[in-house]
Chain A
């Protein structure tokens, strides 16, 4: 539901980066979205297309998904997880917490 707010933030980051090179045109955008970032990827892509269209036209949007990783509460093993609850594959204990998959960042811009 908040993907439009995020797309507007990403649009702002693009504008600030492009301000260094006003002659450049944005042709591509890479965004990294963690499995636990709370973002619906298809909705974000749609919102980004809407936000970027007016000023930049068609921009190739690449969304890279970062897998979810949790750490075991008992044995400290790190393991990839998809949906809660997170149980350690080695000892069956619950996870102490999520150690990967929370990122939400602009990775790169492509300009020409």
Chain B
């Protein structure tokens, strides 16, 4: 029997992408801004969210989908700040996918939301490949990680709309140039919005919060 070649030309992640498109359409129709937070482990995603929730929960209706390989620790930390949180334990998976997010969204009252954060699994490689239906990816990078992080892990920075530099209160103790880090990030993605923040001292958080308020307002008004 002779072999026959069948053209397929199908994207490997087409099933994920289709579901992500459905999530995006649903969130957009309800005017919900959805941000997918991506970073290495320990860069401060959960702490930034804790601060953000405390500052914004009187102005916006917030919720979080928190992904981790194991434990509900992040979700429990965030729940204490008084917003709905859905935890996804991936059980070894190094990223979230659209199916996991879709299931956890059914536990949240989406029509009652303005801003939804998806805290991805701490990993700067794999999460950037999986569309979750977010409005925008936001990449976090702490100052202890080194200025060349964007050059080493370009995909996450290329696909993000904003970069939050975290833990800037530590800069006096480090050989770290925020200017060079931002320059590296913008060499990958010239249109990246950049926020330099410290969740510990509160420095730079006002700009981040204002940007979130404006983005949520734009989303709400279509």
Contact = CB atoms under 8 A, between A and B. Distances in A.
Interface residues of A, number: 36
A107 B3 contact: no
Interface in B121-138: 123, 125-126, 128-130
Interface string B188-217: 111000000000000000000000000000
A61 interface: no
A110 B6 contact: yes
Contact of B155 (A17, A36, A95, A108): A36
A38 B126 contact: yes
Contact of B129 (A28, A38, A106, A109): A38
Assign chain B's interface to a size class: 35 or more
Of listed A9, A39, A112, residue having the most chain B CB within 10 A? A9
A9 B13 contact: yes
Contacts of A111: 3-4, 6
A98 B13 CA distance: 19
A6 B94 CA distance: 12
Interface string A62-83: 0000000000010000000001
B11 A105 contact: yes
Interface of A: 1-2, 5-6, 9-10, 12-13, 17, 27-28, 31, 36-39, 73, 83-86, 94-98, 103-112
25 contacts: A1-B126, A2-B94, A2-B95, A2-B126, A2-B130, A12-B15, A13-B12, A17-B6, A17-B8, A37-B129, A38-B128, A73-B190, A84-B150, A84-B151, A85-B188, A86-B187, A86-B188, A94-B186, A104-B129, A105-B12, A106-B9, A108-B5, A108-B9, A109-B5, A110-B4
Given A9-B13, A84-B188, 14 more contacts: A1-B123, A5-B95, A9-B15, A36-B158, A38-B155, A84-B151, A86-B187, A97-B189, A97-B190, A104-B129, A105-B12, A106-B8, A110-B5, A112-B1
Interface of B: 1-16, 93-95, 97, 123, 125-126, 128-130, 150-151, 154-155, 158, 184, 186-190
